[in-house]
Amino acid sequence: MLLREVERGSRAAAEVLAGTDGRARPALPALRRLAGSAQLGDRTAAACALARITGDAASVAPVLRAAWAEHPCTRPVIGVYLAAPGAAAVPLRDLAEAEPAARRRHTALTDGCVSHDIADDARLPRVCRRVVAAD
């Protein structure tokens, strides 16, 4: 069922698969297609799932690095992936190293914020410090 959902371009299914192990291998072709999606959230979720399932973060590092740089709202999702047990965070470790020192938080919008922004802002530097400490 999850495979069908990923084939349809489901970000939620990709996020579920990211928490699985090698049993998700049949979904790899669909996740690779989703990692090339025009939709930022879909691309990010699929790249995190691919890295978790294959153990190869280097192959999706360009997708995650671009999302991190171009769309700061993806940093919490990517940070959680990087901090997950068994994550191959090395290709993106520099992002986690630099984030705690950032002067402007990732969710600081010029036109306002939503209620979870403060919690996300506080959580991201902690997650990044865990990534750096794990190496």
Q: Cα 20 to the chain's mean position, in Å?
A: 15
Tokens coding 131: 């990534």
* pLDDT at residue 61, rounded to an integer: 93
pLDDT for 135? 65
How is residue 122 written in tokens?
A: 């506080």
Predicted pLDDT at 35: 92
CB 96 within 8 A of CB 79: yes
Amino acid letter, residue 5: E
Q: What are phi and psi of 24, to 5 degrees?
A: -90, 5
Amino acid in the structure at residue 20 = T
- Find out whether 53 and 22 touch, Cβ atoms under 8 Å: yes
Percent of the chain with pLDDT over 90: 21
Confidence at 116, pLDDT banded by 50, 70, 90: low
Distance CA 33, CA 87 (A): 21
Q: Which tokens is 128 given? A: 């990044």
Show the tokens assigned to 57.
């973060």
What is the pLDDT confidence band of residue 18, given thresholds at 50, 70 and 90? low
Q: Tell me the average pLDDT of the chain.
A: 80
Give the Cα separation of 63 and 89 in Å (integer).
Answer: 14
2 close to 13: Cβ distance less than 8 angstroms: yes
Q: What is the pLDDT of residues 78-113, one digit of tens each?
A: 988 888 876 777 889 899 999 888 876 655 555 555
Q: Coil, strand, or helix at residue 10?
A: coil
What's the pLDDT band for 38 if we cut at 50, 70, 90? very high
The tens digit of pLDDT for each residue in 52-75 reads 888 888 899 999 999 999 888 888
**Residue with the larger pLDDT of the pair 36 and 15:** 36
